[in-house]
Chains A and B, each alone.
Chain A
Amino acid sequence: MSTVAETATTPTRRRRRVDGWRWAGRIFLALMLFYTAVPMIWMLLTSIKSGFAAMQLPPQWWPAEPTLASYQKLLDPTNSVGADFLRFFWNSLFVSTLTTILGLIVAVPAAYAFSRFTFPGRNFLFFSVLLRNMFPAVIFLIPLFILMRWVGLVNTHGSLVITYLTFGLPLAIWLLKGFYDNIPIQLEQAARIDGATRFQAFVLIVMPLSVPGIIATAIYSFIGAWNEYIYAYTFLSKNEQLTLPAGIQRFFSENTTDFPGLMAASFMMSVPVVVLFLVLQRYFVRALTEGAVKH
């Protein structure tokens, strides 16, 4: 009898205690959600107001006359604002994609080498790769600008791609090395015994398994390049070359600021990143090496 009573009460008591923590967690998450989502929502709401409604005090919490005029203006290549916006968008896309692809081309073999091979200076190289990340990026702004001017890369997208690679590669290599470390070396050994060359073993067996890592790294370096402002603003001065973060600030002007236009542009700037996440997120959740080896 006593055991029955115990088993009956113990779970409820335990569950109640967990509930308390769970509610604390929920409240915390709700606050975090509020903190992150409200600016986004406000951005979206402002972008569909008229210029006058956006400036009202007290604010219109919900736009009285919602309008897509700002979006139409931005996406219309025939008017000057739209032409500029689309050009900036294209520039950003070009610079970010190029940075990502070049970064992966270097980071994938580098990370694999750091993970699998022992060679003289391996540790020194690996930690020197991280050295750059110990300093804030702005410190390098003036030196890099002087360097870029010296090699004649100022006002080219190449200057940005090189700079973003400098900053993005070390972490990309670290990130990918972690993924390769988690792929059992026996898989490659098995492949090599089964008739593959070292390179085939990498391409046919290891590469498919490191897809989540490669995608995570790609997203990381794409977002880094997509959002970067200070270098783009410093290295580029010609209107037709600006990237989005540098270009969007042209919505601010001395006398009037087109807040709905600014917010619409900001919103559209965040779209590619969100889409990228949604499309690729399924690769994160799957543990691809499951079932490969028995521990």
Chain B
Amino acid sequence: MARVVLKDLVKTYGVFNAVNNVSLTVNDGEFVALVGPSGCGKTTTLNLVSGLIPITSGDIVIGDRVVNDLDPKDRDIAMVFQNYALYPQKSVYKNLAFPLQMRKLPREEIDRKVKEAARVLDMSHLLERKPRELSGGQQQRVALGRALVRDPAVFLMDEPLSNLDAKLRVQMRSEIKRFHQDLKATIIYVTHDQLEAVTMADKMAVMNGGYLQQYDTPAQVFAHPVNMFVASFVGSPAMSLIPLEASTANGNTVLTSAEGWSLPLSPLNARKVQKATTRKVVLGARHSTIKLHKNAVPGAIPAKAYTVEPTGDVTFVQAFLSGAIVNISVPPNVAVAPDQQIWLEFDQDRMHLFDGETEMAVKAD
């Protein structure tokens, strides 16, 4: 296993910048998820690390070697593809043996390693089958086996679960996580599903438009998103983002809505708002930090329930505030009807404030 360092990584296609100055360090044994919407550059970044596409500028270090100009085969990596890319003409056994044969290992050692990998992944009975005779989950396992049979420095995984059905995906998710814990493997994992990133990864790198937005532990990213993109991308249902304007009333800083209501701020939040470059401030709040009242309460904002979605564990209520959709979760025993008048109370300690111009989170100091 080894660490991976990306330094000012750039990939351009003509005038289009697919990856812009991405720098991050994946420590030895760390599970890092590259996450973002499609076209954000996460798969391109992975392919740059693999060597399948050449970099435009920057450096890639795997272990202690700069691998910028090395062929994929010389980078000591293994990759799991989104569509598995199993060799269709080869049996499962030969699929697993191929990376070892390419490295000219003795026959007995190949046999031992293939059987060991098959045992670990519980597919010893499938070794003689061809990929087309396997189910989707089994094919996925073979793809994983082909990666781990060689004991590489880094595992690269390109949306390995996105072609599985929902139930199998959850199961394989925990298997891959277990696999990481057992092997202490360095893994770079690309996904568009923020839930996969949050649940599996030690650290997540949120990307958008070819830029790295935030690189931190899932808990930190969730609790302290650096900008509005990260705030809305991580977490489900998405964080509500309400555009407001900062103003002063009776010497106190408040956020006022075009709808006429205003929200008083705690001293800390007031200091944050004063740091913004503009009077336009976006209030961010996760569904669980908004309290729903059925009666008017001091400090609570009046709204009308728009839709009500019971999920069993919690019920999600949607309302409009200042033209933005606001998600609120309530216990299932709280009955709310569409179009019912409700009052929303925001948690001052857990609300997020963003600069309306730069879309960056504003900080008090």
Identify the A interface with B (CB < 8 A).
Answer: 184, 186-187, 189-197, 200, 205, 208-209, 288-295
Contact = CB atoms under 8 A, between A and B. Distances in A.
Nearest to A205: B87
B163 A294 contact: yes
A181 to B, nearest CB: 16
B244 to A, nearest CB: 46
Nearest to A189: B52
20 contacts: A184-B83, A186-B83, A187-B87, A190-B79, A190-B81, A190-B87, A191-B102, A192-B71, A193-B50, A193-B52, A193-B79, A194-B98, A209-B88, A209-B89, A288-B89, A289-B88, A291-B130, A291-B134, A291-B139, A292-B84
Nearest to B75: A193
A195 B78 CA distance: 9
A196 B102 contact: yes
Contacts of B52: 189, 192-193
B84 to A, nearest CB: 6
B136 interface: yes
Contacts of B243: none
Given A291-B133, A292-B88, A194 B99 contact: yes
A154 to B, nearest CB: 46
B198 interface: no
A184 B72 CA distance: 18
**Which 5 A-B residue pairings sit nearest by Cβ, starting from the closest?**
A291-B132, A195-B102, A293-B83, A291-B131, A186-B85
Contacts, number: 85
Nearest to B158: A186
Given A184-B85, A293-B86, A295-B163, 18 more contacts: A186-B81, A187-B85, A192-B71, A192-B73, A193-B72, A194-B99, A194-B146, A194-B150, A197-B71, A200-B102, A205-B87, A289-B88, A290-B132, A291-B88, A291-B139, A292-B86, A292-B131, A293-B85
Contacts of A190: 79, 81, 85, 87, 146
- Size band of the interface chain B makes with A: 20 to 34
B103 interface: yes
Contacts of B163: 294-295
A292 B72 contact: no
B206 interface: no
Contacts of B6: none
Interface string B74-115: 000111010111111100000000110011000000000000
A116 to B, nearest CB: 12
Contacts of B98: 191, 194
A82 B102 CA distance: 55
A243 B73 CA distance: 50
A195 B72 CA distance: 7
Contacts of A289: 88
Interface centre among B52, B87, B99, B136 (most CB of A within 10 A): B87
Interface of B: 50, 52, 71-73, 77-79, 81, 83-89, 98-99, 102-103, 130-134, 136, 139, 146, 150, 156, 163
Contact of A293 (B71, B84, B150, B156): B84
Contacts of A292: 84-88, 131
A209 B163 CA distance: 23
Main secondary structure of the interface of A (DSSP, over half): loop
Nearest to A194: B99
B73 A197 contact: yes
A294 B84 contact: yes
Given A190-B79, A190-B81, A196-B73, A294 B139 contact: yes
B73 A195 contact: yes
A294 B161 CA distance: 11
Nearest to B136: A294
Nearest to B77: A193
A228 to B, nearest CB: 35
Nearest to B156: A193
Interface centre among A184, A190, A292, A295 (most CB of B within 10 A): A190
Contact of B85 (A189, A195, A200): A189
Contacts of A195: 73, 99, 102-103
B155 to A, nearest CB: 11
Contacts of A196: 73, 102
Contacts of B87: 187, 190-191, 205, 292
A129 B87 CA distance: 32
Contacts of B130: 291
Contacts of A295: 83, 163
B136 A288 contact: no
A213 B156 CA distance: 33
A268 to B, nearest CB: 37
Contacts of A291: 86, 88, 130-134, 139
Contacts of B71: 192, 197
B307 to A, nearest CB: 34
Nearest to A209: B89
Contacts of B86: 291-293
B205 to A, nearest CB: 21
A187 B89 CA distance: 11
A189 B134 CA distance: 22
Contacts of B73: 192-197
Nearest to A187: B85
Given A186-B83, A195-B99, A197-B73, A288 B88 contact: yes
A192 B72 contact: yes
B114 to A, nearest CB: 13
Contacts of A192: 52, 71-73
A290 B99 CA distance: 21
A209 B89 CA distance: 7
Contacts of B131: 291-292
Nearest to B146: A194
B92 to A, nearest CB: 11
Nearest to B152: A193
A184 B77 CA distance: 21
